[in-house]
Structure 1
Amino acid sequence: MSKSRVVEIVEQLVTPIVAAEGLELVDVEYAKEGANWFLRIFIDKPGGVDIEDCGRVSEALSGKLDEVDPIPTSYFLEVSSPGAERPLKKPSDFVRAIGKQVHITTYEPVDGKKEFNGELVSYDGEWLVVAELQKTVRKQCHIPLNKIAGARLSVTF
């Protein structure tokens, strides 16, 4: 079974579990690292998740995964917070990130660049506007959503 199909099935299984706990499903990742496979579930809520939230979701999902058995190989299940540099994938993620620092990568150059770091100024469903500080000038970069390879919050020190 393909990785994307596993992610799709797991998302269907975990979504009602997360919703019942009053949490948000941020992401599902199924990846091979070295000889091991990892199924990672990232959850969040206002104020952040704690170990008890992760434990409840892990226990409930583990039972569902045993029942449905969508993954043909052995794997490690991890349920955690997405962290401070959480990924931005859904429209609601981008809306919530307006006014915050972001890191964006693109599949192909936009205005001669493939990497953008700055404040997310706006999102309209098709375009992101990121304000970058270039030397001493704040420049707005308009990035089409369909060219985005990756997007996440960015912590600056």
Structure 2
Amino acid sequence: MTSALTDRIGQLIAPSLESMGYEIVRIRYTGGARPVLQIMAERMSDGGMEVEDCETVSHAVSALLDVEDPVSEAYSLEVSSPGIDRPLTRRKDFERYAGHDARVELHQPIDGRKRFKGLLTGLDGDAVKMELNGVRPEDAAVTLPLDDIADAKLVLTDRLIEASLKESKAREKARRKTEETE
């Protein structure tokens, strides 16, 4: 049911968020004493997401969900950025972060293994290519079907932090330049 619910929520909110310049990275709904609906999003223009963006998305999503009411019980809404060690949920995430370390978990095992950690090296058709850590060199290269990926996330490394800081500085520079021309 959770997958059907998050799919429904995605269908409800994606068009509005896209028209506002945002893209959904992931939607998760967790039950419990106080269920939580987590919306992870980023700006389509540059992949950034500031506190103000989270607030804007939160207000829009709240209004849409109040009208459509897809969740029958009380819940908390959390809107966030993907963060530095972000989840990889879309084809373009695997392309964009090739050259960085990631953890990938599959729905079905390949050669008895469901969890993989290593360097993303790109895509090959509908599969993610990785160089695994801590295995024999002849076993290091793997190809994992995109459709079989249950969960994938970047691993926090110095290289990832450096790349993230570089992107953040470039976004800030572009923002200041835009403000100066207005």
The answer, yes or no, to whether TM exceeds 0.5 is yes
Contact residue 108 and residue 147 of structure 1 kept, 8 A: yes
TM-score normalised by structure 1 residue count: 0.85
RMSD: 2.1
1:66 alignment partner, SS class:
helix
1-structure distance, mates of 2:9, 2:109: 33
Higher helix share: 2
CA deviation vs aligned residue, 1:28-48 (integer Å, no higher than 9, x gap):
11111x311111100113252
Matches within 5 A, 1:117-132: 117-132=117-132
Return the letter of the residue paired with 2:39: I
Matches within 5 A, 1:78-97: 78-97=78-97
CA deviation vs aligned residue, 1:101-130 (integer Å, no higher than 9, x gap):
111112343344322211111212422211
Higher strand share: 1
2-structure distance, mates of 1:90, 1:47: 13
1:79 alignment partner, SS class:
strand
2:49 pairs with 1:49: yes
1-structure distance, mates of 2:109, 2:7: 30
2:156 pairs with 1:155: yes
2-structure distance, mates of 1:115, 1:14: 32
Return the letter of the residue paired with 1:20: S
Report the CA distance shift for 1:108/1:9 in structure 2 as closer, same or farther (over 3 A). Answer: closer
Return the letter of the residue paired with 1:21: M
TM-score normalised by structure 2 residue count: 0.75
2:35 to 31, 34, 37: 37
Counterpart of 1:98?
98
Return the letter of the residue paired with 2:8: I
Displacement, 1:61?
1.3
2:7 alignment partner, SS class:
helix
1:94 alignment partner, SS class:
helix
CA deviation vs aligned residue, 1:120-151 (integer Å, no higher than 9, x gap):
11212422211123279582122233442221
Displacement, 1:69?
1.1
2:35 alignment partner, SS class:
strand
Matched pairs, number: 155
1-structure distance, mates of 2:149, 2:27: 19
CA deviation vs aligned residue, 1:29-83 (integer Å, no higher than 9, x gap):
1111x31111110011325211110111111111111111111100001111122
* Structure 2 portions without partners, runs of 5+: 159-182
Report the CA distance shift for 1:135/1:90 in structure 2 as closer, same or farther (over 3 A). Answer: closer
* Greater shift in the superposed pair: 102-111 or 38-47: 102-111
Percent of residue pairs identical? 36
* Structure 1 portions without partners, runs of 5+: none
